[in-house]
Structure 1
Amino acid sequence: MTRRASTMPPLARLIGCGLLALLLIGPPSHAAPSLRYPAAPESDVTLPLVIHGALDLPQVRPLLDAFHRDHPWFAIHYRNLSTLALHERFLGSPGEADVLISSAMPWQYRLANDGHAQPLETPAARRWPAWARWRSELFAVTFEPIVMVVNEAVIARFGEVRSHADLLTLLERREETLRGRVVTYDPTLSGAGYTYAIEESRLSPRYWELVAALGASEAALAGTTGEMLEGLIEGRYLVGYNLLGSYARERLADHPHLRIVVPEDYTLVTQRLALIPRRAPHPAAAQRFVDFMLGERGQQVLARETPLGALHPALEGPGTAAALRRRLGEALRPIALGPGLLATLDDLKREALLSRWRREFARRERR
């Protein structure tokens, strides 16, 4: 019998990481947490800048702090929203925000594709990697792997788990031991889980075997990375599959018995996408901020002071895409920024994939 994760953690606001944000969790838009940075009193000119982001305040604060130090004449208002609330608020008030930042890659792409974004033609934007931008209107600004989390007790008893193939073997051989002690996304409810399912079904010929093995182990199904991390920390689960690596890295820093595994066979990578709305009220301010995020200064902040990961091609060292690429090479599979994202929003394709997921997840339970 399929188990749902039993509690909703204090970290429920982490739903902002969901790529489609189908869960109606997160602060209502009218009460969204926010940060305000007043312009410096000595500034001769005060320029407003309004940013809406599906990015929690502790993670975005270092970036905003650095930008404000370098540009003290901007009066910045950052509003933190879930991806769903951000998208709906924009459609209702397309002239409210100067910048949108969201991990809802399909929805951000649709906004740009439908003509809601304006171009950025700065040197940094023109130099940005072609795979990390769409035209000059949509830019990936983070590099966040999708990971597993494994309790050290499992590794000590059954050996290393380094890949999806290792996880499949573990689930098949230790089904009884791990029954009810594994947790993953519910793709029928979670946009993140749904998007990862689409990508993995394309990447791996053994993906559906893994889904069946998860079903046989009676894996708990959760709606957010935060929910999974809470259960792993509390000891209710021993293995977590397909968690957002940036949140896991930050949350598990003080829990050494939980190991973050970046799979060696293939690792999905999601990115937060930034765009400047065509009706942005302060377009010059928006251009300056997005240019900062794409420049070495802003990307260094992301690499060194946040768990989000920087993808600037000139940056090396921990917290950069270059470091991950050196380690994993062709195993890294960034979710492509292109027309394929729109397919994830097609109702018929969505229902077809979810029907198979339900069938495969339940297949071994009927034996």
Structure 2
Amino acid sequence: MNRLGRLACRWLLLLGLVGSPAAADETLHVPAAPGSEPGASLVIHGALDLPQMRPLLEGFHREHPDLEVRYRNLTTLALHERFLARPDEADVLLSSAMPWQYRLANEGHARALESPAARRWPAWARWRQELFAFTFEPIVMVVNEAVIERYGEVRGHADLLALLERHAEALRGRVVTYDPATSGAGYTYAIEESRLSPRYWDLVAALGQADTALADTTGEMLEGLIEGRYLVGYNLLGSYARERLADQPRLRVVVPEDYALVTQRLALIPRQAPHPAAAARFLDYLIGETGQALLARETPLGAIHPAVEGPGTATSLRQARGEALRPIALGPGLLATLDDLKREALLTRWQREFARRARR
């Protein structure tokens, strides 16, 4: 593995973006309809599990039965490494690793999509005509009703800070959040929040005072909340929480009222895609109203298309939360996640603030 590959491996491991080895090479194959032109194919590599991807692929194939569709479900690390080794293998790359997708586009690896759907796509959800966000996934809190009944509502970061400062002893060990030193999701959110909120570092210190548990994944946090080990979860991926807690009435998913980060999954067409016309058809479907409506209806991921409404969509959340929603920007700021010196500086301060009140 070359130096770039080693750095990619190191960072994606630290970023907490690596999935289970068992899911590393699952393939969904949808053959073309009988009589279709031989060789009319579409190859998609995505860090998106089959339960979420299957409805999108099957919906696309209903509209384009002449195409043979192959989907390879990879971890974000495997997807990135495989692309660097074989940049002419896949027609579309889908990944939640926003900095790495941005870097690929920024370094000239993405083909522009010049279509009406691409030009109409919201400017905040695309970079040039090469990189497109297709999901809308707020970062949320989860609060056990027992906390609300005893201490009052938790509607935003100020409420959480007050709760932790006033009741740190009662909540000691019963709060959980990401460990930014081992989770890229947690690290990315820490970078964004330190820019957004002047009281962010007070909140980090209050989390430390309450002896907050640190986790690597949203799934790990949700397990602890469901089992009752934790009463409050901070900075969970909302799409996963909404789906997993649908049958847990005592656990309330809170989209913070003051500000709520929003993460997105990004799609691009590689410059050396073997079937660029088929790739353009799929990406048009993915960001078109039909594909986005299916995504909103049959997955927990949250659609962006302005005409699509329903729970978890950008439209419904913006109607409810307005400017409090802060999508992580598609731009050069994403590259800060990949900078060793910036990462070391932020983590040093995070660990110092987290331990500050704990030492008292």
Structures share a fold, TM > 0.5? Answer: yes
1:149 to 142, 151, 154: 142
Residue of structure 1 in register with 2:127 after alignment: 134
Aligned pairs for 1:114-263 (under 5 A) are 114-263=107-256
How many angstroms does 1:352 deviate by? 0.5
1:63 aligns with 2:56: yes
Residue of structure 2 in register with 1:4 after alignment: none
Task: Give the aligned length.
Answer: 350
Distance in 1 (CA, whole Å) between partners of 2:29 and 2:219 is: 26
Per-residue CA deviations over 1:303-326 (Å, capped at 9, x if unaligned) read 111111111122233332111111
Distance in 1 (CA, whole Å) between partners of 2:38 and 2:104 is: 32
How many angstroms does 1:29 deviate by? 8.8
Per-residue CA deviations over 1:43-101 (Å, capped at 9, x if unaligned) read 34452211111112111221112111111222212122222222122112211111111
Query: Residue 250 of structure 2 aligns to which amino acid in structure 1?
Result: H
1:47 to 33, 37, 40: 40
Structure 2 CA distance for partners of 1:42 and 1:82, relative to 1, 3 Å:
same
SS in 1 for 2:55: helix
Under a length normalisation based on structure 1, what TM-score does the superposition of the two structures give?
0.91
Kept in 1: contact 2:133–2:267 (CA 8 A): yes
Structure 2 CA distance for partners of 1:161 and 1:55, relative to 1, 3 Å:
same
Query: Residue 93 of structure 2 aligns to which amino acid in structure 1?
Result: L
SS in 1 for 2:309: coil
How many angstroms does 1:119 deviate by? 0.6
- How big is the alpha-carbon RMSD for the aligned residues of Structure 1 and Structure 2? 1.8
Residue of structure 1 in register with 2:5 after alignment: none
Under a length normalisation based on structure 2, what TM-score does the superposition of the two structures give?
0.93
Per-residue CA deviations over 1:170-228 (Å, capped at 9, x if unaligned) read 11111111111111111111111000000000000110011111111111111111111
Structure 2 CA distance for partners of 1:34 and 1:174, relative to 1, 3 Å:
farther
Structure 2 CA distance for partners of 1:170 and 1:298, relative to 1, 3 Å:
same
Structure 2 CA distance for partners of 1:213 and 1:192, relative to 1, 3 Å:
same
SS in 1 for 2:253: strand
Residue of structure 2 in register with 1:79 after alignment: 72
Kept in 1: contact 2:12–2:18 (CA 8 A): no
Percent identity, aligned pairs only? 78
Could you tell me which runs of 5 or more consecutive residues in structure 2 were left unpaired when the two chains were aligned: 1-10
Structure 2 CA distance for partners of 1:356 and 1:152, relative to 1, 3 Å:
same
Distance in 2 (CA, whole Å) between partners of 1:25 and 1:311 is: 25
Residue of structure 2 in register with 1:15 after alignment: none
SS in 1 for 2:138: strand
How many angstroms does 1:130 deviate by? 1.1
1:293 aligns with 2:286: yes
Distance in 1 (CA, whole Å) between partners of 2:310 and 2:17 is: 37
Kept in 1: contact 2:17–2:97 (CA 8 A): no
Residue of structure 1 in register with 2:258 after alignment: 265
